[in-house]
Amino acid sequence: MEILITNDDGIYSEGIFALYDSLRKAGNVTVVAPDTQRSAVGHAITLTDPLRVTEARRRGKFFGYATSGTPADCVKLAIRALMKKKPDLVFSGINLGANMGYNVLYSGTVSGATEGALFGIPSIAVSLDTFIKPDFRCAAAFAVKLASSAARNRLPAGTLLNVNIPAVPAGRIKGVSVTRQSRTLFSDRFDKRTDPHGQTYYWLTGSLNQKDASPDSDLTAVSRNRISVTPLQFDLTDYKFVTELENWKF
């Protein structure tokens, strides 16, 4: 298989290297990823600036292509310009921190996989539910299993898989759950600060203030030490409301 890997933590992150190291067992791997941190850029693409590409090296060897763009840029660029063959699979990750609930709208990791799905390629986003002392081995091993499953089975057109791995040792993983995107809300706030030059600036922070405890949600699965696999689609139309909206008097 031809496998394309991207991420939003940057090409030198440990998560993408763990994914690369694992997926080499499943096929020929090409890495095209941002040259630095691009978290929470969503599905942004670069239109007003050129995309710069440089070769990245790990352990003294060629590892992949680092770009000045977003994860969605990376996938477009890889397929349209850098790869000789269209990939059979697109993986995005392994992200540092979970991507569940409404976070998927902001996530560059999920958007990397979404861009692959837009090209009609089976695409998978993988995230690890921690920011502290991550151990990517379990997530990387599960990615290989997913690669085999995706090769045997067919994802519907326009559907990608969003995978979240609990940050526990492999022996404590209690299984895999097929889940839905949870309805979680964050309480945003801005810390107001002053820089050394006396200028005011704001830093976004916040916390989760509403948790979806439904048994079929991604949040519930991960909290129970189960791997969450959620099929997502990028058609955002509210079909249930279409008929009612047609009755509005515009």
How confident is the model at residue 159, as a pLDDT?
Answer: 96
How confident is the model at residue 128, as a pLDDT?
Answer: 98
The DSSP 8-state label assigned to residue 51 in this structure reads: P
Q: Judge whether residue 5 has pLDDT over 80.
A: yes
Q: Judge whether residue 118 has pLDDT over 90.
A: yes
Q: Judge whether residue 53 has pLDDT over 90.
A: yes
Q: Judge whether residue 125 has pLDDT over 90.
A: yes
pLDDT in tens, 196-235: 999 999 999 877 766 777 899 999 999 999 999 999 999 9
How confident is the model at residue 210, as a pLDDT?
Answer: 63
Edge-to-edge strand ranges of the sheet holding 123-128: 53-58, 61-67, 28-34, 2-6, 89-96, 123-128, 159-165, 227-233, 176-178
Residue 123 tokens read as 């695409």
pLDDT in tens, 148-198: 999 899 899 999 999 999 999 999 999 999 999 998 877 789 999 999 999
pLDDT category of residue 44 using cuts at 50, 70 and 90: very high
**In degrees to the nearest 10, what's the CA dihedral of 73, 137, 151, 155?**
-60
Mean pLDDT, residues 118-128: 97
How confident is the model at residue 74, as a pLDDT?
Answer: 98
How confident is the model at residue 249, as a pLDDT?
Answer: 85
pLDDT in tens, 57-101: 998 999 999 999 999 999 999 999 999 999 999 999 999 999 999
Rounded CA separation 193/200 (Å) = 6
How confident is the model at residue 188, as a pLDDT?
Answer: 86
Pick the CATH number of 2-182+213-246 from 3.40.1210.10, 3.40.190.10, 3.30.365.10, 3.30.160.250: 3.40.1210.10
How confident is the model at residue 163, as a pLDDT?
Answer: 98
Closest residue by Cα to residue 173 from 100, 219, 217, 222? 222
Rounded CA separation 19/190 (Å) = 34
How confident is the model at residue 31, as a pLDDT?
Answer: 98
